[in-house]
Amino acid sequence: MNKQQTLLVIAAHPDDAEGGAGGTAAKYVRAGHKVVFLMVTKGEAGTIEHTSEEIARIRVEEERRASAILGAEPKFLDFKDGEVFNHMPEVRMALVDTIREVKPDIIITHHPYELHPDEWVVGRLSVDAFTLAGLPNIKTQHKSWDEVKGFFMYADPHRFNVLVPQKVTHVVDITETIELKLKALEEFKSQQEFMAKHGAYDAYMTDFVRQQRAKAEAVGAIWGCEYGEPFVALRGIASPFLPLSEK
C-alpha cells in the first residue's frame, strides 16, 4: 500500500471496535493510514448501577480515550443500545451516509451471526450499507462511494459455536500492537465492572483484558504468530495486513 488508506471499523457499542479489531487498527495507524471507529449506540444498556444517560456519558468518554490510544477517530450515531433491531431502516441509511462521508477503502464490522442482538443487526446492516453506498440513486446527504476494496467481520473464539457457521479466513499479526490494544481496552472500566457482575451474555468474561490477551495468543499459536486478530472475509484481500491464509 503506497497511498494512504482509510479503515472504517463499525461497532454496535463502545469497546466493540477495540476488542474486535484494535490491534489491526493500531497497525494501520502506525503505517500512516487513517482509522475511523463508528459506534452505532453509546452503550446505554451496559450497566446495573447507572441511568442510561449517565452510562452513555461514561462510555463515550471511555471510547474517546481508547480511540486516542490507538490513533483512531471516534464517531457516534445516536441509536439506543438494545433497540437497534427496532430501527433497522434508519440505521441502514445512517450507515450508508457514514460510509459515503468517511470514504473507506476497508470496512471491518460485526459478524451477522453474533449472539448479541445489536451486534448481529449492525453486522447485517453494514453489509447492506456497503452495497447501497455505491448506488447514486440511493440518496443521502453525501454522494455515493463505491471504492471499498475489502469487507471483513470480527471473528473472536467465543463466537465459534453452532450459531456461527463460519471459519476464520484472515488473521492479522498484531504482535507489535497487542499492548496498545490492551491499553485501550483498559479504558473501559465501566464495562469491566459490569461484565464481572451481571453474568448472562458475558458470564464467561471474568477478566476482560486478560482474556483478550489470551484470545490473541491462542489465535497466534494456531496461525503462526505471537498474537493474532482473526477475521472472516466478505470480500477481498484488503491489504498486506489482512493476508489470506489457508489454515
31-86 pLDDT, tens per residue?
A: 999 999 999 999 877 666 778 788 899 999 999 999 999 999 999 999 998 899 99
Closest by CA to 79, choosing from 141, 7, 11, is: 11
Q: CA 150, CA 48: separation in Å to the nearest integer?
A: 38
Residue 238: pLDDT band with limits 50, 70, 90: very low
pLDDT number for residue 192: 76
Q: CA 69, CA 92: separation in Å to the nearest integer?
A: 29
What is the average per-residue pLDDT within 17-36?
95
* Residue 135 burial (10 A CB sphere; 0-12, 13-18, 19+): exposed
**Which superfamily does CATH assign the domain made up of 6-231 to?**
LmbE-like (3.40.50.10320)
Looking at 72-81, 193-202, 214-223, which range is the least confident one?
A: 193-202
pLDDT number for residue 139: 97
Q: CA 151, CA 35: separation in Å to the nearest integer?
A: 14
Q: What is the pTM of this model?
A: 0.90
Predicted confidence (pLDDT) per residue in 112-164, tens digit = 877 788 999 999 999 999 999 999 999 999 999 999 988 999 986 555 554 45
pLDDT greater than 50 at residue 244: no
Answer whether 87's CB lies under 8 Å from 40's CB: no
Residue 245: pLDDT band with limits 50, 70, 90: very low
* Residue 103 burial (10 A CB sphere; 0-12, 13-18, 19+): middle
What value, to the nearest 5°, has the Cα angle with vertex 124 and ends 69 and 234?
A: 75
Q: Domain coordinates of the chain in residue numbers?
A: 6-231
